[in-house]
Amino acid sequence: MVDNQFILNKFGFLGNDFLEEIDQHSSLIKVKGKTEILAEGNKIKNIPFVINGSLKVYALNDERELIYNYIRSGETCLMSFSTIFNDFVSRVYVVSEEDTEMLIIPASILLDWLIKYPQINKLFYYEFDLRFTDIMNMVNDAVFHKLDKRVLNYIKQQISITGKNPIKLTHKEIANNLGTSREVVSRVLKKVENEGEIIQTKEGIKIPVNENVRIN
C-alpha cells in the first residue's frame, strides 16, 4: 500500500474491499513548499488527502489573496471534491505551505466510489464541518477584530500549522493573505512587537514562549 497506516486510519472503516481498491487506484506524491497544486480554472483530475505537511486554499482578487482554509494532515480539499458533481473545474488556488506528502485519488474513481461505498460520505460530512468552521472563523476575524489582532492571529495560525517558532513570513506575504498593504503590516508588526506580542529576528517572527499560540 502507498501508506498503510494512513490509509487504515482514514479509510479502514470502509472494509477490506475498499482498501484493495484504494491500493490499486491511489498514488503518493511529495511536493516542495510553495508549490502550486491547483489554479482557478484548472480541470481537477485528482483529489488530494494530506498525509504530512499542509496546503493553503485561497482565491485571488486584484492580486490579493483571500484565504479560505488550510488543509492539514489527514484532511482533504473539500472545494476540489465538490467539483466532481458538476464540471470538475477548480474555483480556487491550492498551494503547499511547506514540504507536503499527499495521497491522491482520481476524481472520476472517487465519484464511482460514492455510489459503490456510500459510507465514504462520512468523510466529507466531517470535512464540510471543518471547512464551515474555518470560514466562520475567517468571517468573525475580519468583521470583529482589528488589523493588529488579525495579524497576530495569522502568525499564530502559521506557527500552529508548521510547528515552527520563529516562522519565516515576509511582510508582503502577510499583507497578501490579509488583504492589506505591506506598509500597513509593517506598522502593525512594529506595534505588536513593542507590546511584547512578537519578536522579529533574522530567523523570522517569533511568539514568545510564554505566549499561548492558540488563535483567539
pLDDT tens per residue across all 216 residues of the chain: 455 788 888 999 999 999 999 989 999 999 999 999 999 999 999 999 999 999 999 888 777 778 888 898 989 988 888 888 888 999 999 999 889 999 999 999 998 999 999 999 888 888 888 888 877 777 776 666 688 888 998 899 889 888 889 999 999 888 888 878 889 999 999 999 999 999 999 899 999 976 555 444
**Distance in angstroms (rounded) separating the CA atoms of residues 117 and 68:** 29
Query: How many whole angstroms separate alpha carbon 146 and alpha carbon 55?
Result: 26
The DSSP secondary-structure symbol of 213 reads: -
pLDDT of residue 160: 86
**pLDDT score, position 143:** 61
Which residue shows C-alpha cell 456510500? 118
Residues in the chain: 216
In this prediction, residue 3 carries a pLDDT of 53
The CA distance from 214 to 203, in Å, is 21
Global pTM reads: 0.73
pLDDT of residue 216: 47
- Give the whole-angstrom CA distance, residue 4 versus residue 22: 11
Helix (H, G, I), strand (E, B) or coil at 29: strand
pLDDT at 41: 94
d(CA 14, CA 10): 9
Instruction: State the Cα–Cα distance between residues 96 and 56, nearest whole angstrom.
Output: 6
Residue 18, CA distances (Å) to 29, 103, 129, 159 in order: 21, 15, 24, 36
Grid cell of 95 as nine digits: 498551494
φ, ψ dihedrals at 184, nearest 5°: -65, -45
Q: What pLDDT does 215 receive?
A: 46
pLDDT at position 145 is 65
Q: Is the dihedral of CA 75, 211, 173, 132 positive or negative?
A: positive
**pLDDT at site 2:** 52
